[in-house]
Structure 1
């Protein structure tokens, strides 16, 4: 007797109602990936140290370099997700539609314009913080955005757990606008960690 396969369910709501769940999912994925590589790289690194066999030294070097690399990747990803969490704490979510796809810089950098109130003019540089690359499916229909287009923000793409960290692509050209943004907007951007230009290293 055949059984009907179960349809996999998303681990969190992705309609803007469970941002904390999306953040937890990204933290968990980063940690699992680090653990997956560590169980291979740590024994490689320890091989010549524990056995005292000289010809295993190259294997130990590869394991050591590999472990440092994945540790740096973990730090970079975790710190960028943390930056998104700061933004979500400082700003309320709002649905922005449509989203204009301007340019794709593989594998994880997207350039886009946000529609909705006050949108349509500034090109935002968005870093994708999830598995896969390129444009998330359905992004043109809108995203849940938290932030200020003068300084940047974070977003969740509806229907997926794709998380985006973004700031204006023409950051320097907008310095005067930011200086004249007013005390409240500047204070809020500082609380969100968006007063300076950030280059996520993921």
Structure 2
């Protein structure tokens, strides 16, 4: 479901300044930080759901069955969230290790969906701009503050990439919004760019849910 246009610019995150440099010099700090936050969020909730589930087998009380079911689904959900966040962080890390970070400005807020998906365009492009689907590595579904002023981008737009937002340090993984529609640009990229995209893990579309 698409977020109404009148909300698009107002939905901004309140992320505090990042505890690592966000000037394009320390992508490893960004990756480590996102791994730590993902694990902290997991450990905040998973033990609670685990306790709800385990007590059903310890106490053997039938009326605790609904509580046990909540615990079971809660554990599955938190594991699912952890796996997704760690996967996105790894994807970003692979891109950063393959491509240099370059400052790109301005960034256009092209759209937003309720599935925690942002759509952006880089305003310094020549020719037809690529609309890129962006997913925050921690699952945040709001616009990073100051994103329109520019980001530190690594990648190749027909294939995708990743970027870090100065200030808040949000880390997002990118790929073209319509993969099939941009196929002609990838075919014209040449073997060197294709090989580089393959090393970065962006030669093929990723499942960004």
TM-score by length of 1: 0.89
Correspondence for 1:59: 67
Deviations 1:24-80 (A, max 9, x none): 111111101110111211110101211222222221121111101110110011111
Sort the Cα spacing of 1:140 and 1:68 in 2 relative to 1 into closer, same or farther, 3 A. Answer: same
Counterpart among 121, 126, 129 of residue 129 in structure 2: 121
Cα distance in 1 for partners of 2:96, 2:166 equals 16
Does residue 32 in structure 1 map to residue 40 in structure 2? yes
Cα distance in 1 for partners of 2:45, 2:111 equals 33
Q: How many Å apart are 1:124 and its aligned residue?
A: 1.1
Sort the Cα spacing of 1:135 and 1:99 in 2 relative to 1 into closer, same or farther, 3 A. Answer: same
* Structure of higher CA gyration radius: 1
More divergent stretch after superposition (110-119 vs 164-173): 110-119
Q: How does 1:179-190 map to 2 (within 5 A)?
A: 179-190=187-198
Secondary structure at the residue paired with 1:147? strand
More divergent stretch after superposition (88-97 vs 128-137): 128-137
Correspondence for 1:104: 112
Does residue 138 in structure 1 map to residue 146 in structure 2? yes
Cα distance in 1 for partners of 2:70, 2:142 equals 31
Q: How many Å apart are 1:196 and its aligned residue?
A: 1.1
Correspondence for 2:83: 75
In the alignment of these two chains, the number of paired residues is: 194
> Structure 2: where are the runs of 5+ without partners?
1-15
Counterpart among 92, 107, 127 of residue 100 in structure 2: 92
Cα distance in 1 for partners of 2:118, 2:134 equals 5
Does residue 18 in structure 1 map to residue 23 in structure 2? no
Sort the Cα spacing of 1:187 and 1:142 in 2 relative to 1 into closer, same or farther, 3 A. Answer: same
Counterpart among 50, 60, 64 of residue 42 in structure 1: 50
Aligned-residue CA RMSD in angstroms?
1.8
Secondary structure at the residue paired with 2:175? strand
Q: How many Å apart are 1:115 and its aligned residue?
A: 3.0
Cα distance in 2 for partners of 1:120, 1:73 equals 35
Counterpart among 178, 184, 195 of residue 203 in structure 2: 195
- Counterpart contact for 1:38–1:67, Cα < 8 Å: yes
